[in-house]
A and B are shown apart, each in its own frame.
Chain A
């Protein structure tokens, strides 16, 4: 019954999308149908997903499907249920948000197609995590990629958007090619494309286990945004409408993590180097992600790079867990996988929230350029305060949820440092030191993002005339902000919820995992104690100051300006100047382009400074490679004449060749 409900929910969402497409001419109806069915379908699916996570079983559902090797086989276990909870919750909120957000485009665009693709995206994500047949999985995967491609190119009139869309389409298909190879190799052993047969446990020698692992890391890592396969991410996420960016960043890229974890259940006990590889990827993604984020001036692009960073933290957790599996250290397994998985959910909460907040800024002020904003907290208090919660959470600050999952990964690394042999020490120490560096840089970046956008004085008339969004957009942000706080103080409970998921991924018995989670639960309990103390103390201090200031004169005046007579808002520190010391320190990695026109002569006429930070991998790795490919391929152009007769000749020659080949 549980799985069936989820399938029905997904079907409802998909058919709502179709109806919305048919109702394109009546935007109000299209919006109502699509978002209504999404909320309804998500609600319908959320209940069984939670039930399965709490211990119920999700039965197999097999429908007739006439695709060779394919089978419409779906089922739900704890791992699927966990990802479903994230998908359903965030997508429902994004659908509510989208109702108001897309209104702006009503004048010059049909709202049917974006809603159709949004609903297809949601439904296909659901199908991806419940599919139990490789062909069905790949079909769902492809629908997911295409639906999100059309959403990314929603504003295709802009030149940059088109480029972003193509980058995304090429990247995601290159990734899918690796997945195809992965599933063919997996299916080769068992002779069936059903996931049940993939478990290499039945085949004593996991022949290609390491090859399969690498294929999965590249294929799923492209979707997840591991560096160096991340190049599409900072292009595509900012281009999509903001509620879609939230869904893409919050849950769609997590399907890559899901796929990786699912593949791990097929591959048996990992050798230590798998853990090393994932930790290394996690470190590089985390550090480079946050460094590139620091150098951005575009709010949504900054957030997109932070997705790379957070995927890095998730990879660090999974890597620690894998290393724990090969070292047979139960605490490392549970802390690593537990931290990584919880960060999946946490990132869905705060990154969803931040993208929705960025959307509200774009909606209210009409620009995403950080250096043109400022002082929005007064004009958009709901957006501002919820954005602050998200910013603190993503920086991993207590008492919010980001800290809980990062602490688990830290503990996994520290446990390894304490107990593992010296040979694994370099990688484990870099987990801890790397997390600290990522944390410090993320804090710097979000102090910038929040501080420059929402605090100070408006830097342009757009910012000065910005307005708060309506309740349809506010409500999802408020709910997500509350979720960030709630997960922060419910840490022990969340870890208990994760027990069956960890057990499923690692193949450990439930009781074993539960026993091992006792210690992290106590630790998180103590953290909750500290958080409560923090809140009480803050409240106490607020009261104390109120009492101290009662009866005193409290006056307001201008900010201290050192006696300068005419300060203007443009003299404030900007995002670029705020990040400049760090970007210069790390310029070996970032390679910013700086064009500076110096003021000359006694009465300088004009001067300007522009900095731009391109993605190093895009500029230095992929662009040359693709240019080379294009050169080689254009050499084959003589092959195509556009004459039908020649094509018929090609067909005949091919047939002849095939016949000759089959002759002997």
Chain B
């Protein structure tokens, strides 16, 4: 079982950079372009790892330290995620809180890394990031609480195997609402449209990309990688909920999970192709709305 858990961690580490590739491919397809290859991010990261680095004179060690510790935090977060019925490497009651706080640590590091440059652009991005994440965090926690109550378990590795096709028959509306709220949180936390536009690099509208403007070389590669892993974390939370195929065979489960992740990336790609970015003032409303949906779901679960 431990081996299987370790394998799924390796799977995440190896395959996560595919997700942005799939998203971009879907967007290109919808727009009628060829688009970059699915493995583009691997190329980018490989190229960046081989380059030197340029640091701003304003920055301190905080700037150098932040991307590394941020990547470490998201990798540890990955060890808490179960795939299908395969338990996570690290599972205990309340691990969902640790997961949320590890992502919080990663965000804190990114934000202070951005503030270290003294650039007003990066300060702006950091300011928006903390606002949206402060509002997204309770929503994430509410969805997790609803799932915990539904499964009568406080560990992600206990909650997810308990969700089956049968659970959907019994509590379909609640699970659907939880998924919707979780999707909204995923879009906000991963800097996707309609919250943030990952394609714009130098406009006042963006959040994540502007915070990492001054990173270069291996640091930038680590940041891209960490962002892909974070997308993988939220993807697995959603896929485990929406595609509860539990055959009991590890290989089949993992296959279904990977198909689900592909679908997740496709859905994000379609959302990004069909929607415009929201006005910044509307984003908190979207998150509060997601919170309201999560509360309704919770009421349904408690009923």
B partners with A:
yes
- A residues bordering B, Cβ < 8 Å? 374-375, 377-378, 388, 392, 395-398, 403, 407, 410-411, 414-415, 417-418, 422, 425, 429, 432-437, 439-441, 443-444, 446-448, 450-452, 455-457, 519, 522-523, 526-527, 529-530, 533-534, 537-538, 540-542, 544-545, 548-549, 552-562, 569, 571-573, 577-582, 585
Q: How far is the CA of A433 from the CA of B297 in the complex (A)?
A: 14
Which residue of chain B has the shortest Cβ distance to A412 in the bound complex? Answer: B94
Contacting pair A581 B131 (CB below 8 A): yes
Which residue of chain A has the shortest Cβ distance to B151 in the bound complex? Answer: A418
Contacting pair B119 A555 (CB below 8 A): no
- Name A397's contact: one of B104, B130, B280 (CB within 8 Å): B104
CB distance from A291 to the nearest CB of B (A): 10
Contacting pair B148 A456 (CB below 8 A): no
Contacting pair B140 A436 (CB below 8 A): yes
Is B38 part of the binding interface, using a Cβ–Cβ cutoff of 8 Å? no
The 5 A-B residue pairs whose C-beta atoms are closest, nearest first, are A573-B123, A451-B115, A440-B134, A456-B118, A552-B52
Give every chain A residue within 8 A of B98 (Cβ-Cβ). Answer: 398, 407, 527, 530
Contacting pair A398 B120 (CB below 8 A): no
- Name A398's contact: one of B101, B122, B126, B291 (CB within 8 Å): B101
Give every chain A residue within 8 A of B93 (Cβ-Cβ). Answer: 411, 414, 519, 523
Give every chain A residue within 8 A of B105 (Cβ-Cβ). Answer: 392, 397-398
Which residue of chain A has the shortest Cβ distance to B132 in the bound complex? Answer: A581
Q: Please name 10 further chain A to chain B contacts, defined as beta carbons within 8 Å, in addition to the given A529-B90, A552-B217, sorted by A numbering.
A: A398-B98, A432-B142, A433-B142, A437-B137, A444-B134, A446-B108, A451-B126, A455-B112, A456-B58, A558-B56
CB distance from B59 to the nearest CB of A (A): 8
Is B253 part of the binding interface, using a Cβ–Cβ cutoff of 8 Å? no
- B residues bordering A, Cβ < 8 Å? 49-60, 62, 65, 68-69, 71-73, 75-76, 79-80, 90-95, 97-98, 100-102, 104-105, 107-108, 111-112, 115-124, 126-128, 130-131, 133-138, 140-142, 145, 148-149, 152-154, 202, 213-214, 217-219, 222, 280, 284, 291, 295, 298, 302
- Name B217's contact: one of A422, A451, A549, A585 (CB within 8 Å): A549
Contacting pair A541 B112 (CB below 8 A): no
Contacting pair B76 A537 (CB below 8 A): yes
Contacting pair B142 A429 (CB below 8 A): yes
Q: How far is the CA of A581 from the CA of B59 in the complex (A)?
A: 25
Q: How far is the CA of A439 from the CA of B108 in the complex (A)?
A: 11
Which residue of chain B has the shortest Cβ distance to A411 in the bound complex? Answer: B94
- Name B116's contact: one of A444, A451, A571 (CB within 8 Å): A451
Which residue of chain B has the shortest Cβ distance to A384 in the bound complex? Answer: B60
Given that A414-B154, A523-B93, A573-B127 are contacting pairs, would A549 and B53 also be in contact in the complex, using a CB cutoff of 8 Å? yes
Contacting pair A414 B53 (CB below 8 A): no
Which residue of chain A has the shortest Cβ distance to B52 in the bound complex? Answer: A552
Contacting pair B101 A403 (CB below 8 A): yes
Give every chain B residue within 8 A of A577 (Cβ-Cβ). Answer: 123-124, 127
Q: How far is the CA of A436 from the CA of B102 in the complex (A)?
A: 13
Give every chain B residue within 8 A of A451 (Cβ-Cβ). Answer: 111-112, 115-116, 126
Give every chain B residue within 8 A of A397 (Cβ-Cβ). Answer: 101, 104-105, 108
Q: How far is the CA of A562 from the CA of B54 in the complex (A)?
A: 16
Contacting pair A443 B56 (CB below 8 A): no
Q: How far is the CA of A558 from the CA of B58 in the complex (A)?
A: 7
Contacting pair A417 B126 (CB below 8 A): no
Q: How far is the CA of A459 from the CA of B107 in the complex (A)?
A: 25
CB distance from B49 to the nearest CB of A (A): 6
Q: How far is the CA of A414 from the CA of B80 in the complex (A)?
A: 18
Give every chain A residue within 8 A of B54 (Cβ-Cβ). Answer: 554-557
Contacting pair A541 B60 (CB below 8 A): no
Which residue of chain A has the shortest Cβ distance to B57 in the bound complex? Answer: A556
Contacting pair B298 A541 (CB below 8 A): no
CB distance from B66 to the nearest CB of A (A): 11
- Name B69's contact: one of A448, A538, A555 (CB within 8 Å): A538
Contacting pair A560 B213 (CB below 8 A): yes
The tally of CB-CB contacts under 8 A between chains A and B is 251
Which residue of chain B has the shortest Cβ distance to A403 in the bound complex? Answer: B101
Contacting pair B138 A572 (CB below 8 A): no
27 A-B contacts, Cβ less than 8 Å apart? Answer: A398-B101, A398-B102, A407-B94, A407-B101, A411-B94, A418-B148, A429-B295, A433-B138, A433-B142, A436-B142, A437-B134, A440-B130, A440-B136, A443-B133, A450-B112, A451-B115, A455-B116, A456-B116, A529-B90, A538-B72, A540-B72, A556-B57, A572-B123, A573-B126, A577-B123, A578-B126, A585-B131
Contacting pair B117 A440 (CB below 8 A): no
Which residue of chain A has the shortest Cβ distance to B112 in the bound complex? Answer: A451
Which residue of chain B has the shortest Cβ distance to A413 in the bound complex? Answer: B145
- Name A560's contact: one of B65, B100, B119, B128 (CB within 8 Å): B119
Q: How far is the CA of A390 from the CA of B278 in the complex (A)?
A: 36
Given that A388-B62, A437-B134, A456-B115 are contacting pairs, would A552 and B101 also be in contact in the complex, using a CB cutoff of 8 Å? no
CB distance from A603 to the nearest CB of B (A): 24
Which residue of chain A has the shortest Cβ distance to B219 in the bound complex? Answer: A545
- Name B108's contact: one of A432, A447, A457 (CB within 8 Å): A447
Give every chain A residue within 8 A of B213 (Cβ-Cβ). Answer: 560
- Name B149's contact: one of A374, A417, A562 (CB within 8 Å): A417
CB distance from B141 to the nearest CB of A (A): 4
Given that A447-B126, A559-B58 are contacting pairs, would A571 and B120 also be in contact in the complex, using a CB cutoff of 8 Å? yes
CB distance from A46 to the nearest CB of B (A): 32
Contacting pair A572 B108 (CB below 8 A): no
Q: How far is the CA of A429 from the CA of B138 in the complex (A)?
A: 10
CB distance from B76 to the nearest CB of A (A): 5
Give every chain A residue within 8 A of B295 (Cβ-Cβ). Answer: 429
Contacting pair B108 A452 (CB below 8 A): no
Contacting pair B55 A440 (CB below 8 A): no
- Name B145's contact: one of A407, A417, A529, A561 (CB within 8 Å): A417
Given that A541-B72, A549-B218 are contacting pairs, would A452 and B117 also be in contact in the complex, using a CB cutoff of 8 Å? no
Give every chain A residue within 8 A of B90 (Cβ-Cβ). Answer: 526, 529-530
Q: How far is the CA of A375 from the CA of B57 in the complex (A)?
A: 11
Give every chain B residue within 8 A of A530 (Cβ-Cβ). Answer: 76, 79-80, 90, 98, 102
Q: How far is the CA of A527 from the CA of B94 in the complex (A)?
A: 10
Contacting pair A432 B141 (CB below 8 A): yes
Contacting pair A555 B52 (CB below 8 A): yes
CB distance from A403 to the nearest CB of B (A): 6
Contacting pair B115 A436 (CB below 8 A): no
Contacting pair A439 B101 (CB below 8 A): yes
CB distance from A367 to the nearest CB of B (A): 19
Give every chain B residue within 8 A of A545 (Cβ-Cβ). Answer: 68, 218-219, 222
Contacting pair B138 A534 (CB below 8 A): no
Give every chain A residue within 8 A of B80 (Cβ-Cβ). Answer: 530
Contacting pair B76 A392 (CB below 8 A): no
Contacting pair A582 B131 (CB below 8 A): yes
Given that A398-B101, A417-B145, A523-B93 are contacting pairs, would A455 and B118 also be in contact in the complex, using a CB cutoff of 8 Å? yes
Contacting pair B72 A407 (CB below 8 A): no
Give every chain A residue within 8 A of B145 (Cβ-Cβ). Answer: 414, 417, 429, 432-433
Q: How far is the CA of A522 from the CA of B91 in the complex (A)?
A: 11
Give every chain A residue within 8 A of B148 (Cβ-Cβ). Answer: 414, 417-418
Give every chain B residue within 8 A of A444 (Cβ-Cβ). Answer: 130-131, 133-134
Give every chain A residue within 8 A of B50 (Cβ-Cβ). Answer: 548
Contacting pair B202 A562 (CB below 8 A): yes
- Name B92's contact: one of A441, A522, A548, A553 (CB within 8 Å): A522
Which residue of chain A has the shortest Cβ distance to B102 in the bound complex? Answer: A398
Which of B92, B128, B133, B219: most chain A CB closer than 10 A? B92
Give every chain B residue within 8 A of A549 (Cβ-Cβ). Answer: 52-53, 217-218
CB distance from A569 to the nearest CB of B (A): 7
Contacting pair A552 B51 (CB below 8 A): yes
- Name B302's contact: one of A425, A441, A452, A562 (CB within 8 Å): A425
Given that A558-B57, A573-B115 are contacting pairs, would A440 and B133 also be in contact in the complex, using a CB cutoff of 8 Å? yes
Give every chain A residue within 8 A of B284 (Cβ-Cβ). Answer: 585
- Name B76's contact: one of A374, A434, A534, A558 (CB within 8 Å): A534
Contacting pair A455 B219 (CB below 8 A): no
Give every chain B residue within 8 A of A548 (Cβ-Cβ). Answer: 49-50, 217-218
Give every chain A residue within 8 A of B137 (Cβ-Cβ). Answer: 436-437, 439-440
